[in-house]
Amino acid sequence: MSTIYYHPHPPNTDKIENYQAHPFIDLLYDLEPINPPHTKFKSQMDSCPAMNIYRNHTYLLRSPVDMELMFNPEKGEWFVQGNMTEEVFDLIVPPGTQSPYLQLKIYYLFWSEKKTNDKLWMHDVPLHEVKQTPSFYVASGMIPVGEYTRNTSIGLILNTDKTTIKIKRGQPLAAFTLVGDSQIKLVKKLPTQKILDTNLRHFQTPRFCPYYATKTFFSRWLSHES
C-alpha cells in the first residue's frame, strides 16, 4: 500500500504561516469517497473487484461557493449572473480568448513522501451524483502525483448550445481517481513549507518554459505523434 497526501489549498497562499488563516480555507470541503447507491443491495455486481477498486480510489470535490456565469458567444465574453461577491469572482479565471470555457481557482494540493508510480486522474463526477444534466463538463487530466507535487485546479467547458454555468455550494464539481501498482490510501495532512515551495516551483516552471516542461516530464505517457 502507498499513501498520497492532500490538503485544500487556498489560492495565492504559498507561506505556511498564512495557510490556515486564509478566510477561504473553512469553505473548502474535504475530499469525499464516492458511495454509489447500488452498494446497498449487496449484489454480485457490488462484489466485483474491478468496481471495488474504482469505488475505493475515487473521491468527490464539492464546490465551496455558489456561482452563476453566462457566456455570450457573439462577444466571446463571460458575464456574472446574480449576486456574486468579489471574493467568489476572484476564483474565476477566464481563458483570455473567445472560448466557452473557464478555470476555477479551487485548488487541492497532492504529494507523496516517497517516489511511487501513483497517478491522479481528474474527471467528471459519477452519474449517480448528478441530479440534473449539467451544462458543462470537466477538462479531464492525469498527473504522476507519486513523483510530482502539484495543486490541481478545475477547468469547466460549456456543452454545445449551452450558455450558463450555475453552481451551488456543496455541488460535486469533479472527481479524483487514484491509480497505481497497489492499493492507495488518501490522507488529509497539512503541508510543510517545503511542500508548498516545491508546488510553487512546479506551478511556475511551465509558465516560463511551457513546451519543455510539459513535453519532457510527461513524455513517458505521451504518444510520439502528439
Residue 210, pLDDT score: 44
Residue 157, pLDDT score: 92
In this prediction, the residues of the chain whose per-residue pLDDT falls under 50 are 207-212, 226
**Lookup: cell for 48:** 466485483
Cα–Cα separations (whole angstroms), residue 128 to 25, 74, 96, 158: 28, 35, 34, 21
Beta strand ranges found along 15-140 (DSSP E): 32-33, 58-62, 67-72, 77-80, 92-93, 101-111, 119-123, 136-138
Residue written as cell 455486481? 45
pTM for the complete prediction?
Answer: 0.86
Contacts of 7 (CB under 8 A, 6+ apart): 108, 109, 188, 189, 190, 191
Residue 23, pLDDT score: 80
Question: 2-217 in CATH: which number?
Answer: 2.70.40.10
Cβ atoms of 94 and 78 closer than 8 Å: yes
**Lookup: cell for 172:** 460535486
Structural domain spans, the chain: 2-217
Residue 226, pLDDT score: 47
Beta bridge mates, 158: 136
